[in-house]
Every structure is written in C-alpha cells, then in structure tokens.
C-alpha cells in the first residue's frame, strides 16, 4: 500500500511540471503521520498554505514518515503541540500511555479534560472461541445501545474492530442473528474503486449505530465503546496499531481473544482491583 | 396613569366603545380597588391620551354572578364586540384586587426546566411519539402546561380546580374525554410533588409524597451548589428505601452496569404496580427515573424510561422532570429545540396593558356555547383552522385541537361511502385541510420507509441502490477531537 501511495503521488507530481495541478488557497490535512514524503511534496505543490495535524503514535502504515517530511518543508513550518484533549476517559488514556508515550513524555492521562460518561472501563475477555467472542460482544452491544441511546442520537457510535476484512462479514452475519441487534450494524470501509462498489455509502448512519471495521479502517475515528475481537489472531501489528485501536474508544473498551492475549496488550492492561478480603 | 372605573350596564356600553364612563379613580394598586356594588362591572384602562382618542379597556372586572348576563348581553346585542375575552382581559374582583402592577410575572421558583421537561414528557406520552416528532402546540395542550402556567401566574390553586377547568375547555369541543386524560392518573402525584417542591411550604403535601418532595429539593440544592456527588446527597432524602443503597455506589458503576440496575428496579416496580401508590412506590419511581437520567455514566439515557412508559408512564415523566431540576438556563436547545419554546411560554409574563393572546376565555365560552344550535360554537367566532387557544385563567392559554374535537364529536360512526358514477369534486380547501390533518400519520410511515431504504444488504455489499444520506459524513457529528 505504501508503495502504491508513493507511486500515485509521484505520478501526480509530474503534472506539476506541466502546470496541470489545481491550486488551492489553503489546505488542511489530518492524519499527517501516515503521509508518504511524495504525498507531502504533492500537497506542497497544491497550495502555498498548509495546515497539518498528526500524531506519530497513531502511525499505522509502514514506511510512512509524514511528520518528518512535513518538518523538512521549506520554509520550515511552525510546529505546535496540542497540550490537552477531551476525548478519552482517564482509564483508556492510562492503558494507551502504557503502550506508547508521546515525544516529550506528555502522557494522555495527564492531558485529559474528559467530561463524558464515567467511569471509563476496559475489560479483557478470553480465551473464547470466535463465535463466543462475537456473542459476548453482542450482549454488551445490546446494553450499550440502550444506555447510550441519547448519545447515539447526538452522533456517538459503537464499534466492533477486527483484524481482517473477511472478519467484518462474519461479525455482521452473527450480529444479525441476534434479534435485538437486527439492522443495527453496518460495515464501514473504504470504497474499492470497482464499478459495482460505486453505490456503497461509507457514511455513518444513526439507525445503524454499530460500525464494524478493521483495525486500519478505524484510524481517525472515535466511538463511545469499542469491541476489539480476535485480537490475538494478527501478528503484524506495531505498537502504533495497538495504540491507535485502544484510543478509538472514548469510554469503554472490550478486548476479546481466543488464545493468549498479545504481549503488548497484556502489559498495558491493568485488571480492575477486586476486594482484598 | 391607569384609571379604574365602577360602571353600571349603560356605562359599560360606553366604555367598551372607547368612551370613558362610570365612577373613575386613578388606579394605584390593590389599595385603590373597592368592592363592586351588585350589578356593577369594573373597568380598567390607560388614561386618555391628550389627543382625546378613544380609551381602550384593558381589563373588565366581572363578578361570577354577572358572567351570564354580561357575556350573553354582548353576544346578543353587540355581537361586534363579542366575545369580550378575545380582546380584553376578564378578571374576577379577587384576581384584580391582588394586582399591584399591570404585569404579572410567571414565577416557578427555579423549577422552570423541571416543569418544561414534564410538559414535554406528557406530550410525548399522549402522542406516543418521540420528542423529535412533537410540535409546540402538542405541549401547550397538555394538562401539565395548564398546571404549571397556573402555578406560575396565580400561585398554587387546587389541582382539582385546574383540571376541572381543563376538562371544561375540552368539553366545549368534543364529547368524551380529551386524550390527555389517559395519563392523568399517573401524573397527578408528579404534579403534586413538583408543585409542593416549588412552593415555600410543603407541609400540606400528601404524606406519601414527602420523601420525593424532599428528594427534589435536595437535588436542586445539590446541583445549585455543584455538588460532585449529588447521588450521595440524594440518598439522604430517599434512605428509607432499601433500593436507594444504589446511590452510594453509583459513581463506581459503569454505564453498562447501570442499565442492569435500572432493569432490576423496573422489575420491582412492575411487581408492585398493582399495589396502592404508597410512599415506597413514589420513592422507587423517583429513584428509577433518576437512574435513567445518569445511566450513561452521568449523562441521561431517557430512552430507558421511554421504553417502559406504556406500562409505567410516571417513570418517563419523572425522568424528564428530574433532568431539568436545578437547571436555570432554559433557552438551550433541549428536547430537540422544544424545551426553550415551552419554557418561553411557561415563563412569559402576563401584560395586562396588552390584549390577550387567547381566542377566548373559558368563562365566557361556557356561557356562549349553545348546544341547541347545529354549530354550538357559532358565538365564539373561531377563526383558527385547527387549533384554538382557550384561556383557563388570565394568561393560562391552552391549545385545543379543534378539528380533532369535531371529529370525535361526530354522533354516528362513518359508514363506507357508496360508489358514485359521477363523484362530486371536492373543494380545494377541504382537501387541503384533510391533507394537513392526515399528514402527522403519514409522516411516521414516510420516516419508516426512508429508514428501510438504507437497509443492511446495501450497506454490506455496496451494490444496492444508494440511500439518500440523511446524516453528515465523516467525521462523526459531535466529535470531540481526534
């Protein structure tokens, strides 16, 4: 994918020499950490005024050096750090901090101004079979649809995150068998570019508040509750991927596994303290 | 300067057409009002302008025993000025005697948002529609609105009196009970408790409601002081209820567990639903409703209460009410924008130096309705298409669905129309009215069709027809930042 992105951006840059690139007064670019250097150069050709937002801890594509590429632009860009955030409950922040801490040591939990539902909660479920994982998530989703109904009305969504694209269909089919969840879920993905996919609408839908998506597809999104299924079935993840998925949850994160919990998550997860006596 | 005059029949005839008459004195508040002699009417107007133009009577002070004679006389002899209550305030001597100013504030003592929530809840319960589908007229037609507005303008009148007036106003238009009466039994305790909480003295409150009145006041104080642990404070008011222990551990319970606790409380309520409405019942409903208002981890999840409203209507009513306790800012877009409109009407001051905003007053209408006529309302000269505004007391104007009333009043069931070879053409206005009346029923079905249009298959495969996008695309609405 990285190679394809580089090739595409490099090809588009060739239009610049022929003055066939449209120009814009200003461009605002999010998720800049995942840009390839060629893409940054292309953006520079598009507009003299660029505004990038990014976080290296959420870099999920290999070989992407977006923020470094931005820093080498001429003239040297002005760089500002956002010193606080509002999105995640402290419990989620603490787990994310145990996976990665930002440059300069600014922990998420120390900069959280979260005012949403409390308390936040993280739970690990397993080992469970694949079917059991989906069933368990379905039960929790049923409760979450009820308790977060008001927030869902205001735009909040729930998510089921899976490692592979094929898993999305399995999850959707299984959730649809649950009478209380029929018609409530939707696969959120990018359009494939194929002709038959043109009609696919990737936008969120209030009537289908459960989004089913891959780990990579979850980047840049946020959900009131996240159910991360089959998390032990992928071995290609970097710390940034774990960090990205964990930080998609605003209040509640449920992690499901079939065998051993991945080391990175086991290390970061702090089970709730039970009664001592 | 204002003038108060005591006038006999002849002098009243002069005053209503703009000519000063009667025994006139400058009005300086309640001390300047004297007892009306038999057969006399009081009149109140702003002093004549220097140009000598007509005076406009602002208030007629009419003793109850004079209603029939005065209203009937004008309807028969001066139909151009009848009904009087459409253009002039009609007050009893007692109401007028309590006036010190020409403006009367509507004071709900800090419970405006709570009353607003209760009005919206009743409208939603009666219409059996979500708040997003409600219109302001439905809220202004509720019993709660009548109770709250009366409390605000005229102090706590006995609930029975207000409801009798409410029913009498509906009886003008229809045979049978208004649809709002269906929820009355469930809401009476809620009105009583909220009226008591917002008055200075709660000692007269029904003993079974004392705990919830205490709870309402505690909650209000707690929110006013921005107490971070209002649930613990609330426990102090409800601690006679064994289930209230929940309040002590609420901050440690996740939203998903709160919904399970809510279900347990509902199960207890349903078990006890056939019992007498005791202090325990009221406290238990209050506790359950409170939980719904903080179920989403401190934020409301009113749907929980709405989902059981068919079985326990008071639960939704309490939940909507409790959410507003302690809230002084009532001009936000709460209840999908409806909240500020209802609050605006609830708190609107009554200006006696402006014309009334109702179509007519109840007292006059009761006199002028003539059941012997084919159009019993002919003397009321209704000029609204579907909804009329009837004043139960000065400034307490409720909306009544006029079309619906006439339909319900139809004496015989409608039979299938015989098929005609040459059906008559319907008048455009009739069709237009019919379409307007039916549209609310179609609206829900249209929404349903729209929702089906965005079905699962198409979302999964992406090969079906594209549904019209009703919602913004990424990022999610209300995103709090990335």
B316-339 pLDDT tens trace: 999 999 999 999 888 888 898 999
Mean of pLDDT values over B49-72: 90
Kindly report the number of other CB atoms within 10 A of residue A64's CB atom. Answer: 23
> Where on the phi/psi map is residue A31: left (φ > 0), alpha (ψ -120 to 50), or beta?
left
Residue A126 has pLDDT above 90, yes or no: yes
Provide the pLDDT for residue A191: 84
Cβ atoms < 10 Å from Cβ of B20? 18
User: Which pair of structure tokens corresponds to residue A46?
Assistant: 């598009």
Give the best residue of B130, B249, B256 to mutate against chain A (max A CB count within 10 A).
B256
Which residues from B are below 8 Å from A121, CB to CB? 254, 256
Burial state string for B202-214 with b = 16 or more CB within 10 A and e = fewer than 16: beebeebbbbbbb
Residue A230, pLDDT score:
97
B128: left (phi over 0), alpha (psi -120 to 50) or beta: left
Which of the residues B462, B464, B469 would you substitute to probe the A interface, choosing the one with the greatest number of A C-beta atoms within 10 Å? B462
The CA-CA-CA angle for residues B86, B90, B94, to 5°, reads 165
Whether A245 shows a pLDDT value over 70: the answer reads yes
Question: What is d(CA B92, CA B102) in angstroms, rounded to the nearest whole number?
Answer: 15
Q: Give yes or no for a contact between A215 and A189, defined as CB atoms under 8 angstroms apart.
A: no
Average pLDDT over residues B92-104: 92
* B93 and B40 Cβ atoms separated by less than 8 Å: no
pLDDT of residue A135: 97
The span from the first CA to the last CA of chain A, in angstroms, equals: 54
Please list every residue in chain B whose beta carbon sits closer than 8 Å to the beta carbon of residue A172. 456, 460
In order of A162, B13, B155, B458, B465, the CA distances from B461 in angstroms are 18, 79, 62, 5, 11
For A200-204, which contacts have Cβ atoms below 8 Å and span 24 or more sequence positions?
Answer: A200/B458, A200/B459, A200/B461, A200/B462, A200/B463, A200/B466, A201/B458, A201/B459, A201/B462, A201/B466, A201/B467, A201/B469, A202/B473, A202/B474, A203/B469, A203/B471, A203/B472, A203/B473, A203/B474, A204/A157, A204/B471, A204/B473, A204/B474, A204/B476
Taking 80 as the threshold, does the pLDDT of residue A168 lie above it? yes
Q: Note the pLDDT of residue B475.
A: 34
Q: Are strands A249-256 and A210-214 parallel, antiparallel or unpaired?
A: unpaired
> Is B254's Cβ below 8 Å from some Cβ in A?
yes
Enter the tokens of residue A242. Answer: 């774990």
Which of A250, A275, A229, A261 has its CA nearest to residue A85?
Answer: A250
- Please give the order of strands across the beta sheet that includes A121-125: A121-125, A249-256, A223-228, A158-162, A210-214, A185-187
Tell me the C-alpha distance between B382 and A101, whole Å: 72
Note the pLDDT of residue B442.
61
B255 touching A, CB under 8 A?
yes
In this predicted structure, what is the pLDDT of residue B176?
64
A98-114 pLDDT, tens per residue?
998 776 777 888 889 99
Query: Closest Cα of chain A to B253: distance in Å?
Result: 7
For B296-314, the pLDDT digits (tens) are 998 889 999 999 999 999 9
**Mean pLDDT score across all residues of chain A:** 90
Sign of the dihedral defined by the CA atoms of residues A20, A24, A26, A29, in that order: negative
Q: Which residue has the tokens 């939707």?
A: A186
| pTM score, whole prediction | 0.80
**pLDDT of amino acid B30:** 75
Higher pLDDT, A206 or A226: A226
Asked if B255 lies within 8 A of A147 by C-beta distance, the reply is yes
pLDDT at residue A171 tops 50: yes
C-alpha span between A118 and B258 (Å, rounded)? 11
Q: DSSP per residue over B202-235, as a string?
A: -TTS-GGGHHHHHHHHHHHHHHHTT-TTHHHHHH
pLDDT classification of B464: cutoffs 50, 70, 90: very low
What CA–CA distance (Å, rounded) separates A246 from A215?
10
φ, ψ (nearest 5 deg) of residue B205: -65, 145
**Best residue in A157, A173, A180, A203 to probe B by mutation, most B CBs within 10 Å?**
A203
Q: In the predicted model, is pLDDT for residue B450 greater than 80?
A: no
Of the two residues A18 and B415, the one the predictor is more confident about is A18
């Amino acid at each position: 994918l990285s190679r394809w992105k580089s090739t595409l951006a490099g090809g588009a840059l060739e239009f610049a020499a022929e003055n066939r690139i449209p120009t814009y007064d200003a461009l605002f670019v999010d998720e800049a950490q995942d840009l390839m250097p060629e893409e940054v150069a292309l953006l520079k050709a598009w507009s003299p005024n660029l505004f990038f937002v990014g976080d290296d801890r959420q870099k999920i594509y290999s070989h992407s050096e977006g923020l470094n590429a931005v820093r080498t632009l001429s003239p040297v860009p002005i760089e500002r750090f956002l010193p606080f955030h509002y999105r995640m409950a402290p419990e989620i922040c603490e787990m994310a901090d145990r996976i990665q801490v930002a440059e300069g040591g600014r922990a998420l939990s120390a900069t959280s101004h979260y005012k949403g539902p409390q308390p936040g909660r993280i739970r690990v479920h397993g080992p469970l079979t694949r079917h059991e994982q989906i069933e368990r998530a379905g039960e929790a989703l049923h409760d979450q649809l009820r308790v977060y109904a008001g927030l869902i009305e205001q735009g909040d969504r729930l998510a089921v995150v899976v490692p592979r694209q094929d898993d999305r269909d399995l999850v959707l089919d299984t959730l649809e068998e649950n009478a209380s969840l029929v018609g409530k879920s939707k696969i959120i993905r990018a359009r494939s570019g194929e002709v038959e996919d043109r009609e696919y609408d990737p936008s969120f839908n209030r009537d289908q508040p459960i989004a089913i998506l891959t780990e990579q597809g979850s980047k840049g999104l946020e959900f009131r509750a996240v159910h991360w299924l089959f998390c032990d079935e992928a071995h290609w993840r970097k710390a940034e991927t774990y960090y990205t998925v964990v930080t998609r949850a605003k209040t509640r994160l449920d992690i499901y596994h079939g065998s051993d919990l991945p080391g990175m998550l086991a290390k970061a997860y702090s089970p709730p303290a039970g009664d001592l006596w | 300067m204002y003038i108060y005059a005591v006038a006999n029949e002849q002098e009243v005839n002069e005053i209503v057409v703009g000519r000063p008459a009667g025994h006139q004195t400058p009005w300086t508040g309640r001390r300047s009002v004297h007892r009306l002699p038999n057969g006399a009417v009081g009149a109140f107007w702003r002093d004549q302008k220097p140009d000598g133009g007509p005076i406009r009577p602002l208030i007629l002070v009419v003793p109850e025993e004079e209603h029939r004679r005065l209203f009937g006389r004008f309807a028969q002899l001066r139909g151009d000025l009848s009904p009087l209550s459409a253009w002039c305030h009609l007050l009893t001597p007692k109401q007028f005697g309590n006036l010190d100013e020409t403006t009367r504030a509507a004071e709900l003592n800090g419970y405006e948002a709570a009353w607003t929530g209760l009005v919206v809840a009743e409208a939603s319960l009666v219409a059996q529609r979500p708040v997003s589908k409600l219109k302001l007229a439905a809220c202004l037609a509720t019993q709660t609105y009548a109770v709250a507005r009366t409390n605000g303008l005229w102090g706590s009148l006995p609930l029975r009196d207000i409801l009798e007036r409410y029913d009498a106003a509906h009886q003008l238009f229809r045979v049978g009970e208004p649809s709002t009466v269906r929820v009355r039994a469930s809401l009476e305790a809620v009105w009583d408790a909220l009226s008591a909480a917002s008055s200075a003295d709660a000692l007269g409150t029904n003993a079974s409601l004392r705990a919830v009145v205490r709870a309402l006041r505690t909650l209000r104080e707690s929110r006013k002081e921005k107490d971070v642990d209002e649930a613990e404070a609330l426990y102090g008011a409800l601690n006679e209820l064994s289930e209230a222990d929940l309040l002590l551990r609420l901050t440690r319970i996740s939203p998903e567990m709160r919904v399970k606790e809510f279900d347990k409380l509902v199960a207890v309520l349903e078990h006890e639903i056939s019992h007498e409405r005791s202090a325990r019942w009221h406290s238990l409903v209050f506790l359950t409703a409170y939980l719904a208002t903080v179920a989403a981890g401190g934020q409301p999840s009113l749907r929980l209460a709405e989902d059981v409203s068919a079985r326990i209507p008071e639960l939704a009513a309490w939940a909507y009410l409790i959410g507003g306790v302690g809230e002084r800012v009532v001009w936000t877009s709460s209840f999908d924008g409806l909240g500020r409109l209802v609050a605006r009407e609830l708190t609107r001051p009554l200006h006696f130096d402006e014309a009334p905003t109702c179509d007519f007053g109840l007292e006059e209408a009761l006199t002028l309705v003539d059941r012997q006529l084919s159009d019993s309302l002919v003397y009321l000269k209704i000029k609204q298409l579907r909804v009329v505004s009837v004043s139960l007391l000065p400034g307490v104007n409720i909306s009544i669905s006029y079309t619906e009333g006439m339909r319900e009043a139809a004496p015989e069931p409608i039979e299938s129309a015989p098929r005609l070879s040459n059906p008559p053409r319907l008048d455009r206005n009739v069709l237009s009215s019919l379409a307007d009346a039916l549209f609310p029923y179609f609206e829900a079905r249209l929404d349903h069709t729209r929702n089906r249009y965005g079905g699962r298959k198409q979302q999964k495969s992406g090969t079906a027809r594209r549904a019209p996008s009703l919602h913004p695309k990424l990022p999610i609405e209300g995103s709090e930042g990335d």
